[in-house]
Amino acid sequence: MSYVTKSPWVIHYDGSSCNGCDIEVLACLTPMYDVERFGIINTGNPKHADVFLVTGSVNEQNKGVVKQIYEQMPEPKVVVAVGICANNGGIFRECYNIMGGVDTVIPVDVYVPGCAARPEAIIDGVVKGLGVLEEKRKALASGQLTAPAAPEESEQAEEQEAASEENGTEKVEEKEEA
Amino acid sequence: MGKRTIIPFGPQHPVLPEPVHLDLVIEDETVIEAIPSIGFIHRGLEKLVEKKEYTEMVYVIERICGICSFGHGWGYCAAVEGAMDVEVPKRAEYLRTIWHELSRLHSHLLWLGLLADAFGFESLFMHCWRVRETILDILEKTTGGRVIFSVCKVGGVRKDIDNETLKEIVDTLKGMKKDIKALTDVFLEDKSSKNRLCGVGVLSKEDAIDLGAVGPVARGSGVVQDMRLAKGHGVYDELDFEPVIEEGGDCYARCKVRIGEVFQSIELIEKAVSKIPEGPISVEVKGNVEGEFVTRLEQPRGEAYYYAKGAGTKFLERMRVRTPTNQNIPALVKTLQGCDLADVPMLVLTIDPCISCTER
Amino acid sequence: MSVQANIVPVTASDLLAKVRDLKSEGYRMGQICATKVSAGFEILYSFDKNHELLNLKLTVAEEEEVQSITSEYWSAFIYENEMHDLFGIKIKHIALDYGGHFFKVSEPTPWNPKK
């Protein structure tokens, strides 16, 4: 975890989630899981935030809200889609008022699976996102990154690797120490 | 007299855990009128009955809401069982009651935490959620899930809890009482909490009845209304159930009702464990739904309606869920009139809004 | 076909009078639910008194206008706006009429799509 030198602030928006993932996101902040030990703070102001946690899929009415929050966040920024609904619509995929995953509206960097996503998985996803954030910061500094890139298939595959990657084991060790 | 201004509140707002939107008409710092608008998380999941068989639909219905998911699954199963004349084994009804009360415990502790957060008592929020994790551990141990359980099915339940584990649950809950009491005393006795809660957002008994308020909102205004008293809802009639009623009608009364119910749920679980009979946990259900049935149950947030209608195929014709928040919005609009702008987040919270329930 | 005993049919002209009676008897409005049927719509009004359930069932043709019950039970506006937005049922004299903007859906009246 040596690359976590900053204190990333997250903003959370509930798309059309069932609350299951939302209360797990909140559970991450509370004493049992306590993401604040990584310096992560939940903020309500998009202009203060580095990481955008979205739960639930997007629909006609909230796509503008999601877009607006994303656009207000300063660069570099990372979007973490929490739960299967935010990934691709999940069980509600066939509903008439569901457009699909969050990536239909804004680019997503990390996909966290689960229904509901477990707090451990959410923390893993955010930590993974911090790696992306650092890369984006470097790219931004060197002038390589200008506009946010469109989401690509490869990112999903990357996320699947995330579960087995060392991030996960590292996190568990950290937890034991804490 | 000041100038009238309209302030949009929500859907993304620092104090709101959920996307509710209100247009607040204010004069100086006083709210004159509040106009709710919903639909941010409308999914249209009731229409999935046309694509999912009635036995599969229970998993969709459970995902109406991640906080009261067990109750939704139960309500749906009860409506279908009613339409099909299925008699559920006694042990299954006891297990459903135990899980339902555990859900109420975790929901009320969650709400207490959010309330503390809404009036700016962050450490109290953290402690409520710390205590709540113990309930989630019990739920995870007995069902396999922390928030979505999928243990209810048409005709009974999918998992049994052995008697030894049931005793362990009771011991754990008894052990938690002291911890919970220490927290709830802060809500009820602490000067700064009382300062925010007492006399704020009063809903009179007449208004509560007139506007059709349900659950702790109605009971906080002195209305004797709890679906656990109704016939055919779990095994509450065998547990000497008496609802918790408070007369005040303000935020403090609503908070007190929920705190009373936390301890009551622990007692109900103890009683249910001492009375649970041996036997099967489900019956085989054959055939399809033909006919219609309306049923109700008491969710942590209040009375919920479940309506199922089938025409003899494996897909239902119509499934309808009416959730408690839906019915409490008119009461919220009423209590917001005349309140201070700074109290709005807290008042919104005291009806314990569950927007994903409301919009389905 | 099993029919629950507490579902009572009601006609459109009797609806408001019946609802007024229930209100004066101390019933509480529980919910309103619409179902699309081949003849039009079935609307189920649920009422509760002392934990006893009573349902009124109204069957209307597709284009028929339904009288709002918000004059008796103000809180019915939520359900009536919902029925209007999701089913396209025409309801007159709603106390708080959102005019089709209560639920914002990607296609109008998803439960009764217009071809």
One digit per residue, the tens of pLDDT, for chain B of length 360 reads: 568 888 887 766 655 666 677 888 888 888 888 888 776 677 777 778 778 888 888 888 888 888 888 889 898 888 888 888 888 888 898 999 999 999 999 999 988 988 888 888 888 888 888 889 999 899 988 988 888 888 888 888 888 888 889 999 999 998 888 889 988 888 888 888 888 888 888 888 888 888 888 889 888 888 888 888 877 777 888 888 888 888 888 889 988 999 999 999 999 999 899 988 888 888 888 888 888 888 888 888 888 888 888 888 888 888 888 888 888 888 888 888 888 888 888 888 887 777 767 777
Q: Count A/B contacts: CB-CB distance under 8 Å.
A: 122
Task: Please give the residue range of the domain that contains residue B170.
Answer: 39-336
Burial label, A152 (beta-carbon count in 10 A; 0-12, 13-18, 19+): exposed
**Yes or no: domain A9-177 corresponds to CATH 3.40.50.12280:** yes
Q: Is C110 on the interface with A (CB under 8 A)?
A: yes
Nearest-angstrom CA–CA distance, B288 and C3: 15
Among residues B37, B156, A49, B56, the alpha carbon closest in space to that of C100 is found at: B37
Helix axes A153-164, A119-141, angle to 10 degrees: 130
Among residues C60, C2, C5, C56, the alpha carbon closest in space to that of C31 is found at: C56
Tell if the CB–CB gap between C105 and A99 is shorter than 8 Å.
no
Instruction: Identify which of B11, B40, B110 has the shortest CB distance to residue A23.
Output: B110
In angstroms, what CA-CA distances link C91 with B108, B358, C42, C88?
38, 21, 14, 9
Burial label, C107 (beta-carbon count in 10 A; 0-12, 13-18, 19+): exposed
What is the C-alpha radius of gyration for chain C, rounded to an integer number of angstroms?
Answer: 14
Lookup: tokens for C9:
């049919």
What is the reported pLDDT for A159?
Answer: 43
Report how many domains make up chain C: 1
Among residues B218, B226, B251, B258, the alpha carbon closest in space to that of B111 is found at: B258
Tell if the CB–CB gap between C107 and A96 is shorter than 8 Å.
yes
The CATH number of the domain holding residue C44 is: 3.30.460.80
Instruction: Identify which of B69, B126, B356 has the shortest CB distance to residue A17.
Output: B356
Question: Taking 70 as the threshold, does the pLDDT of residue C52 lie above it?
Answer: yes
What is the reported pLDDT for A161?
Answer: 42
**CA triple B74-B80-B84, angle to 5 deg:** 140
DSSP, collapsed to helix, strand or coil, labels residue C98 as coil
What is the reported pLDDT for B262?
Answer: 92
Q: What is the largest CA-CA distance in chain C?
A: 45
Lookup: tokens for B5:
């201004």
Among residues A29, A35, A33, A38, the alpha carbon closest in space to that of A5 is found at: A38
- Fill in the DSSP letter of residue B54: T
The CATH number of the domain holding residue B194 is: 1.10.645.10
Q: Is B7 domain-assigned?
A: no
Tell if the CB–CB gap between B326 and C31 is shorter than 8 Å.
yes
Pick the residue of B47, B80, B303, B318 with the most C CBs within 10 A to test the interface with C by mutation.
B318
Among residues B233, B235, B239, the alpha carbon closest in space to that of B304 is found at: B233
Q: Is B12 domain-assigned?
A: no
Nearest-angstrom CA–CA distance, C106 and A66: 16
In chain A, which residue's Cα lies nearest the Cα of B46? A95
Task: Please give the residue range of the domain that contains residue C86.
Answer: 7-92
Q: Is C103 domain-assigned?
A: no
* Rounded-to-10 torsion of CA B234, B240, B241, B246: 180
Q: Is C98 domain-assigned?
A: no
What is the reported pLDDT for B263?
Answer: 92
Q: Tell me the nearest-neighbour CA distance from A28 into chain B, angstroms.
A: 10
Contacts of B11 in chain A (CB under 8 A): 62, 65
Which amino acid is located at B83 in the chain?
A
What is the reported pLDDT for B259?
Answer: 92
Q: Is C108 domain-assigned?
A: no
Asked if the peptide bond before residue A76 counts as cis, ω within 30 degrees of 0, the response is yes
Strand partners, C36: C41
Contacts of A30 in chain B (CB under 8 A): 113, 125-126, 129-130, 133
Instruction: Identify which of B39, B66, B146 has the shortest CB distance to residue A19.
Output: B66
Q: Which residues of chain A have pLDDT under 70?
A: 1-5, 145-178
DSSP, collapsed to helix, strand or coil, labels residue B335 as helix
What is the reported pLDDT for C115?
Answer: 54
Find how far residue A129's CA is from the centre of its chain. 7
Nearest-angstrom CA–CA distance, B332 and B349: 10
Alpha-carbon torsion B159, B164, B165, B169, what sign?
positive
Report how many domains make up chain B: 1
The DSSP-derived string for B118-180 is HTT-HHHHHHHHHHHHHHHHHHHHHHS-SS----EETTEES----HHHHHHHHHHHHHHHHHH
Contacts of A67 in chain B (CB under 8 A): none
Q: Is B236 domain-assigned?
A: yes
What is the reported pLDDT for C17?
Answer: 85
ipTM score for this prediction: 0.81
In chain C, which residue's Cα lies nearest the Cα of B35? C96
Are the C-beta atoms of residues A61 and C106 closer than 8 Å to each other? no
